[in-house]
Chain A
């Protein structure tokens, strides 16, 4: 067990170093969501729609942005493709290190950076008038760990299967945009026709968005919260096992 966490940590440090060496990449990753906030939040003030909480639109929009950020994690697989083509993955695979530990280390590095970015977003929203239940936000970050783990792992699994970054980018956009629209992040699905709402129930992000908004208001007892944790937690484990399986067989 000690060996497992050591290997995970070694891989995580290796990838964090790689991020730190690329300041442009890091800045975009960290500050892009803040840009969304700066560009969209002013629009919210003049928004008058049925189903939108007029009292504090920012309170509904900011947790949504956090979920939207998780969609970007669908592109994470691009990073592992460089390693695959340079033969780094093969080199890692001939060590006796645990395969799950190796992939978990890389995944957790991406998750850590995403959480940092989410934290910056929240901090930037406060001076703009965002008020939330802080214990709820803390729990929301726990949910975000699972969401990012799910997305990054799935993206790695697909990347290692198709081995082509252009194809991966096309696939990631093709999947994340419908997931985004059907999650209620941008516009509440209460506005949508019944058929769309039915489809949305198959989207894990639909539950995540509901849970995120509930947690930001401190509604710990809201059944949406538990439901999101269970659904996303299970999917995160499955995605991680899927990525490990692909990693186990990956050759350049």
Chain B
């Protein structure tokens, strides 16, 4: 597959003045990203808030200039050919970008015409899209009367009304109820089936797992892991076993030492009131582990055996859990 996005050491620094006395501080929001997105795939950026996902997206969508580095989008150079890039891309920001004082149809017509479509062409695209996204009944109502899910579908429509080859979606389902989220996922998959490349950011593990063909895990301005959700999870090698045990520092260290001696245990992560193990062939080895705990005289309150999730990948790469971030 041809790459539709290629970046080389893409960086963004912001000057932030914290108070009047101090010198302005330079914050590295994006610290040098090498990235390849292939035509026709759904590429996801997963990471906590503040990881630099939105900043990267804004650079690629020509909204802010990179501090250094290069990028080519749909064969055009980001630094020199912004206008050509804009004709090939669509972009849906976190805020959405719909004008709430206008109707859905007016929003779509304006956006299509500013993308160079004739009035008739804009009408055709608008009607087709209102039909596909089931917004027809709402089309002539002011956007401020829309529900959250309806509003987000209109935002999506605004990003794709000119049928771009590449669509950027920034946190497309944040704040949506599960039903609206599932519906938006379907729309995104349908777009991909029609040949559109989609680049989205999310801080939802489930979304990254369910939707993305390939993922970049981002933390603190860097891509810390990249691959398909499956291949990333396979890197963890094995299953995750979590024991709920009441323990003090002493017993915790004893347990850690004990578990580490077992050949099938890969990693041990102790925490308050629980201990997490990465284990080969979890089902087979669980009874032996329970036996060890029993012999050590520790009462196990609960046991969980799970396949590794993207959160485990994130934990492995950054030492922090994504779930804790917004818990």
Chain A contact residues, CB within 8 Å of chain B: 3, 6-7, 10, 14, 17-18, 21-22, 83, 85-88, 90-97, 102, 249, 251-252
Instruction: Pull 14 A–B residue pairs with CB atoms less than 8 Å apart, ordered by A.
Output: A10-B114, A17-B106, A86-B96, A87-B93, A87-B94, A87-B97, A90-B95, A91-B97, A91-B111, A94-B89, A95-B115, A96-B87, A96-B115, A97-B114
Indicate which residue in B87, B98, B110 contacts A10 across the interface (CB closer than 8 Å): B110
B86 at the interface (CB under 8 A from A): yes
Contact A86 B102 (CB under 8 A): no
Contact A86 B95 (CB under 8 A): yes
Contact B116 A3 (CB under 8 A): yes
| Residues on the A chain within 8 Å of B61, using CB | 94
**Minimum CB–CB distance for A161 against chain B, Å:** 15
Contact B114 A251 (CB under 8 A): no
| Residues on the A chain within 8 Å of B101, using CB | 18, 21-22
Chain B contact residues, CB within 8 Å of chain A: 58, 61-64, 83-84, 86-87, 89-91, 93-102, 106, 110-111, 113-116, 142, 158
Contact A96 B83 (CB under 8 A): yes
**Minimum CB–CB distance for B13 against chain A, Å:** 15
| Residues on the A chain within 8 Å of B99, using CB | 14, 18, 83, 86, 88
Since A94-B86, A102-B114 are in contact, a sample of 5 more A-B pairs with Cβ atoms closer than 8 Å, ordered by chain A residue number, is A14-B102, A91-B93, A91-B158, A94-B61, A96-B86
**Closest B residue to A87 using CB positions:** B95
Indicate which residue in A3, A22, A88, A93 contacts B63 across the interface (CB closer than 8 Å): A93
**Minimum CB–CB distance for B152 against chain A, Å:** 12
**Closest A residue to B96 using CB positions:** A87
- When chains A and B are docked, how far (Å) is the Cα of A94 from the Cα of B158? 11
Contact B116 A91 (CB under 8 A): no
Q: A3-B116, A95-B115, A96-B116 are in contact. Are A90 and B91 (CB under 8 A)?
A: yes
Contact A92 B95 (CB under 8 A): no
- Central interface residue in B95, B98, B102, B111, by most chain A CB within 10 Å: B95
Contact B98 A86 (CB under 8 A): yes
Contact A252 B93 (CB under 8 A): yes
**Minimum CB–CB distance for A246 against chain B, Å:** 14
**Minimum CB–CB distance for B61 against chain A, Å:** 6
| Residues on the B chain within 8 Å of A85, using CB | 95
- When chains A and B are docked, how far (Å) is the Cα of A91 from the Cα of B157? 12
**Minimum CB–CB distance for A111 against chain B, Å:** 20
| Residues on the A chain within 8 Å of B113, using CB | 6, 10
Contact B110 A14 (CB under 8 A): yes
**Minimum CB–CB distance for B285 against chain A, Å:** 51
**Closest B residue to A92 using CB positions:** B114
| Residues on the A chain within 8 Å of B98, using CB | 86-88, 91
| Residues on the A chain within 8 Å of B97, using CB | 86-88, 90-91
| Residues on the B chain within 8 Å of A249, using CB | 64
Q: Which 10 A-B pairs have the closest CB atoms?
A: A87-B95, A91-B97, A87-B97, A95-B114, A96-B86, A94-B91, A97-B114, A87-B93, A96-B87, A18-B101
| Residues on the B chain within 8 Å of A18, using CB | 99, 101-102
| Residues on the A chain within 8 Å of B106, using CB | 14, 17
| Residues on the B chain within 8 Å of A10, using CB | 110, 113-114
- When chains A and B are docked, how far (Å) is the Cα of A88 from the Cα of B87? 18
Contact B95 A251 (CB under 8 A): no
Contact A94 B90 (CB under 8 A): yes
**Minimum CB–CB distance for B27 against chain A, Å:** 15
| Residues on the A chain within 8 Å of B94, using CB | 87
**Minimum CB–CB distance for A91 against chain B, Å:** 3
- When chains A and B are docked, how far (Å) is the Cα of A249 from the Cα of B14? 14
**Minimum CB–CB distance for B146 against chain A, Å:** 13
- When chains A and B are docked, how far (Å) is the Cα of A91 from the Cα of B91? 7
| Residues on the B chain within 8 Å of A102, using CB | 114
- When chains A and B are docked, how far (Å) is the Cα of A90 from the Cα of B87? 15
**Minimum CB–CB distance for A197 against chain B, Å:** 37
**Minimum CB–CB distance for B200 against chain A, Å:** 15
- When chains A and B are docked, how far (Å) is the Cα of A92 from the Cα of B97? 9
**Minimum CB–CB distance for A2 against chain B, Å:** 11
Contact B116 A94 (CB under 8 A): no
**Minimum CB–CB distance for A226 against chain B, Å:** 38
| Residues on the A chain within 8 Å of B62, using CB | 93-94
**Closest A residue to B116 using CB positions:** A96
Q: A83-B99, A95-B86, A251-B64 are in contact. Are A90 and B116 (CB under 8 A)?
A: no
| Residues on the B chain within 8 Å of A22, using CB | 101
**Minimum CB–CB distance for A6 against chain B, Å:** 8
